[in-house]
Every structure is written in structure tokens, then in C-alpha cells.
Amino acid sequence: MRCGYHGLRFDAAGKCVEIPGQANIPPRARVRSYPTIIKHGWVWVWPGDAERANPASIPEIFVPNDHPDWRSAGGTTYLECPYQLISDNLLDLTHENYIHRSSLGNQAVVEYPITVTGDENRVVVTRLIPDHDPAPFWKAALKAAKNLKEDVNCDRWQVIHFELPANLALEVGVAPAGTGGLRGERSRGVEAHNLNAITPETEETTWYFWTLARNFSREPKHDKAFAARVAAIFDEDKAALEAVHAVMKRNPKRSVIDINADAGTISARRIVARIVEAEQTVRMGAAE
């Protein structure tokens, strides 16, 4: 790594190994280094105590990002809102019908209930949407990949996997109605995993790293178009979430009303709150 200002070069441990124009390198010329690993197609950086870095804690839900059965393309979206608003948004896809009307929106999405399962560290939200006219994004995907006619009805599945602290895989897809897609027989359909590693920058700003891994139209020439399509969809989320954050900031005392669609969000927030509290207890204990 080379400093973009005076050109000093540092090795992976943070030690300076080159200073342009001088042979002598002061031993104090160091920068902080972080445990880093490439896994599932992404670079993972551990900003905490180095000895506690554990590559096994990188979620397996991200496997499709770098797997031969899938083709992945993605991007990064910067949002001026707290990271948990993005996590909330991905755990409740009813918003697709209102915010993503021209791509993922479909009235059928809001007409079928969700089921929420999981354990003390995970949440899984499932919604199965049978026999309906597919949303524009899925209609185009089915047509391009399976050569299906425009008027074919489909079954659609949405299985959202949440893992600490804000890692989410959206296992989504459609298949022609009645061909088994809702029972897990998805060979007649098209499937994608939208993978999301939501990383807070500050309390009110967030780096949102995402990809779409697809098992259809897998030729690399389609990558750009898929990434652009998803980026445009997430820009719609960005506009909504930044507006939501601004309203919440203006009305900090306003009470929040939970609706049925929030069940996954509430479970995930409970898990995060429990872990944060446990970490703070450990830290306070260490400080005493």
C-alpha cells in the first residue's frame, strides 16, 4: 500500500518499507494494520481486537457470491441513514410494491403473509407468492432465460436470511406457476441471491456493499446490465430511507407503530440489541 501524498509504501503488517528519496526508514514509521481476508468474493476487514478476528464468523450465506453455479455482479451504495434502517428495509419486502413499482413491485407481494423463523443469532423471513402475473424484473428474466411468453403466470419465493450484525441474503426467484418452485423444485425457474453486507460508517451514514448472484443469463456480458438494474433499485431505497431518517430526526419523540410486516425486522433488532448489550457488559467488566 502506498500513501497517496508522499509515496511512502507500507507492507501488510503496517511497517514502512520505502520512503522515496531516502534509504533510512525510521522504525516508528508505521500505520495501523487490520486482519483482512478475501472470502466469498469480498474483502473482509476486522476493525476490532486483532486476536479476536475469526474468518469462520464470515457468514456462509454469501457463498453464491463466488461459486461456479452462480454469476455475481454488484456495487456499493452510500446512504445517509443509520445502518439498521437498511437492514429493516431488506427484512420487509412489502415495500417493493410501492418503492420499486417499475421493477419488483406487484400487488401479490403484499397479499401473502410472511413467516418468521430463526434462532438466537439468525432470522429467516419467508414469503411464498403463488400464481400471479410476474413483476417486470422477473417477467423479463423469465423471458430472457427460459424463453417464456409475457402472459405466463408464475410462483415467486422470497426467503430472507439475516445474520449479525447486518448481513442479509435475499434468496429470491420465480418459476412458471405450479411447476414446484414453492416446494423448492426450482429448475424451471430463475433464481437470484441478493447479498448485502451493510457496514456503518458513522451513526448516521452507511456503506452498503451488495451483489446480485444469479443462476440465469450467466454470461459475463450481462453483468453490467444486472448491476445497473439493481443499483437503480437500491437508489430508490436510498431516497426513501434517507427521507425516513430525516423525518425520524425531526420527530425524535414520535412513537413507532409496528405492523405485521415488521415481524422479521423486530426479531433482527432484538438480536442486535442483545449482542450490543452483552458486548457493553463485557467492556464495562474489563474497565472495572
Nearer to Fe ion, 101 or 270 (CB): 101
Interface residues toward Fe ion, by CB under 5 A? 237
Question: Whole-number minimum distance, CB 115 to Fe ion, in Å?
Answer: 20
Question: Whole-number minimum distance, CB 217 to Fe ion, in Å?
Answer: 21
Nearer to Fe ion, 191 or 237 (CB): 237
Taking CB positions, which residue lies at the least distance from Fe ion? 237
CA nearest neighbour of 245 among 96, 85, 94, 87: 85
Question: Whole-number minimum distance, CB 138 to Fe ion, in Å?
Answer: 15
Nearer to Fe ion, 88 or 237 (CB): 237
Nearer to Fe ion, 91 or 263 (CB): 91
Question: Whole-number minimum distance, CB 240 to Fe ion, in Å?
Answer: 8
Cβ atoms within 10 Å, residue 169: 25
The residues, any chain, with a CB within 8 Å of residue 283's CB and separated by 6 or more, are: none
Question: Whole-number minimum distance, CB 61 to Fe ion, in Å?
Answer: 18
Nearer to Fe ion, 105 or 189 (CB): 105
CA–CA separation, 202 vs 78, rounded Å?
12
Nearer to Fe ion, 176 or 236 (CB): 236
Q: Are 267 and 118 in contact (CB under 8 A)?
A: yes
Nearer to Fe ion, 85 or 148 (CB): 85
CA–CA separation, 172 vs 142, rounded Å?
13
Q: Are 205 and 236 in contact (CB under 8 A)?
A: no
Burial of 264 (0-12, 13-18, 19+ CB in 10 A): buried
Question: Whole-number minimum distance, CB 105 to Fe ion, in Å?
Answer: 10
Question: Whole-number minimum distance, CB 210 to Fe ion, in Å?
Answer: 11
Which three-class secondary structure string do you get for 152-196? CCEEEEEEEEEECCCEEEEEEEEEECCCCHHHCCCCCCEEEEEEE
